[in-house]
Amino acid sequence: MSTPNSPLWEVFVRPSRGTNHVHVGSIHAADATLALQNARDLYTRRGEGVSIWVVRSSDVTASSPEEKDSFFEPSADKPYRHPTFYTIPDGVEHL
Protein backbone atom coordinates (compact mmCIF):
# COMPACT_ATOMS: atom_id res chain seq x y z
CA MET A 1 0.00 0.00 0.00
CA SER A 2 1.65 3.20 -1.15
CA THR A 3 0.79 6.62 0.25
CA PRO A 4 -0.09 9.51 -2.09
CA ASN A 5 1.95 12.69 -1.73
CA SER A 6 0.30 15.81 -0.35
CA PRO A 7 1.88 19.23 -0.95
CA LEU A 8 4.44 20.66 1.48
CA TRP A 9 3.90 24.11 3.00
CA GLU A 10 6.32 26.39 4.84
CA VAL A 11 4.89 27.80 8.07
CA PHE A 12 5.54 31.30 9.45
CA VAL A 13 4.27 32.30 12.90
CA ARG A 14 3.96 35.78 14.39
CA PRO A 15 4.63 35.23 18.13
CA SER A 16 2.88 38.44 19.21
CA ARG A 17 1.59 41.68 17.71
CA GLY A 18 4.46 43.98 16.79
CA THR A 19 6.84 41.16 15.81
CA ASN A 20 7.67 39.57 12.43
CA HIS A 21 6.29 36.32 11.16
CA VAL A 22 9.16 33.86 11.63
CA HIS A 23 9.69 30.59 9.78
CA VAL A 24 9.04 27.72 12.20
CA GLY A 25 8.97 24.65 9.97
CA SER A 26 6.88 22.91 7.36
CA ILE A 27 3.74 20.83 7.13
CA HIS A 28 1.84 18.65 4.66
CA ALA A 29 -1.72 19.48 3.65
CA ALA A 30 -3.96 19.10 0.62
CA ASP A 31 -4.89 22.80 0.46
CA ALA A 32 -4.21 26.17 2.09
CA THR A 33 -7.11 26.00 4.54
CA LEU A 34 -6.04 22.61 5.85
CA ALA A 35 -2.42 23.78 5.91
CA LEU A 36 -3.39 26.68 8.18
CA GLN A 37 -5.36 24.40 10.51
CA ASN A 38 -2.62 21.77 10.60
CA ALA A 39 0.00 24.47 11.24
CA ARG A 40 -2.08 25.79 14.13
CA ASP A 41 -2.32 22.31 15.65
CA LEU A 42 1.36 21.55 15.14
CA TYR A 43 3.16 24.82 15.81
CA THR A 44 0.94 26.75 18.25
CA ARG A 45 -0.14 24.22 20.88
CA ARG A 46 1.17 26.43 23.71
CA GLY A 47 0.19 29.96 22.69
CA GLU A 48 3.25 30.43 20.45
CA GLY A 49 1.45 32.63 17.94
CA VAL A 50 -1.24 35.17 17.10
CA SER A 51 -0.99 34.86 13.31
CA ILE A 52 0.17 32.20 10.82
CA TRP A 53 1.22 32.33 7.16
CA VAL A 54 1.52 29.21 5.05
CA VAL A 55 3.32 29.23 1.69
CA ARG A 56 3.62 26.35 -0.76
CA SER A 57 7.23 25.17 -0.43
CA SER A 58 7.42 24.86 -4.20
CA ASP A 59 6.68 28.62 -4.44
CA VAL A 60 9.80 29.57 -2.47
CA THR A 61 12.76 30.70 -4.58
CA ALA A 62 16.03 30.35 -2.65
CA SER A 63 19.57 31.51 -3.26
CA SER A 64 22.07 28.75 -3.85
CA PRO A 65 24.55 27.83 -1.10
CA GLU A 66 27.08 26.98 -3.84
CA GLU A 67 26.99 30.59 -5.04
CA LYS A 68 26.89 32.07 -1.57
CA ASP A 69 30.28 33.80 -1.84
CA SER A 70 29.73 35.47 -5.19
CA PHE A 71 26.06 36.21 -4.49
CA PHE A 72 26.79 38.09 -1.27
CA GLU A 73 30.16 39.43 -2.38
CA PRO A 74 28.87 42.99 -3.08
CA SER A 75 28.28 43.53 0.65
CA ALA A 76 31.50 41.91 1.86
CA ASP A 77 33.95 44.64 0.86
CA LYS A 78 32.12 47.75 2.09
CA PRO A 79 33.13 48.25 5.71
CA TYR A 80 32.26 51.95 5.35
CA ARG A 81 28.61 50.93 5.58
CA HIS A 82 29.17 50.24 9.29
CA PRO A 83 29.37 53.02 11.91
CA THR A 84 32.51 51.46 13.43
CA PHE A 85 34.40 52.31 10.19
CA TYR A 86 34.69 55.96 11.21
CA THR A 87 37.27 57.41 13.64
CA ILE A 88 35.82 59.99 16.01
CA PRO A 89 37.90 61.93 18.59
CA ASP A 90 37.42 60.97 22.25
CA GLY A 91 34.91 63.07 24.12
CA VAL A 92 32.49 63.67 21.25
CA GLU A 93 29.02 62.80 22.51
CA HIS A 94 25.74 61.73 20.93
CA LEU A 95 27.44 60.34 17.83
Partner 1 sequence: MDTDQQQVAFDALIASDGRVEPRDWMPEGYRKTLIRQIAQHAHSEIIGMQPEGNWITRAPSLRRKAILLAKVQDEAGHGLYLYSAAETLGMSREEMLDLLHAGRQRYSSIFNYPTPTWADVAAIGWLVDGAAITNQVPLTRCSYGPYARAMIRICKEESFHQRQGFESQLQLSNGTPEQHAMAQDAIDRWWWPSLMMFGPPDDDSPNSAQSTAWGIKRFSNDELRQRFVDICVPQAQTLGLTLPDPDLCWNAERGHYDYGVIDWTEFQQVLKGNGPCNRQRIATRRQAHSDGAWVREAAAAYAAKKQAAGATVPVAA
CB of 73 to partner 1, least distance (A): 16
Interaction pattern, residues 30-59, with partner 1; x per rule: CB under 8 A: xxxxx------xx--xx------x------
- Interior CA angle at 94 toward 91 and 95, to 5°? 85
CB of 11 to partner 1, least distance (A): 9
CB of 1 to partner 1, least distance (A): 7
The count of residues in the chain is 95
Task: Classify the C-alpha dihedral 12-26-38-56 as positive or negative.
Answer: positive
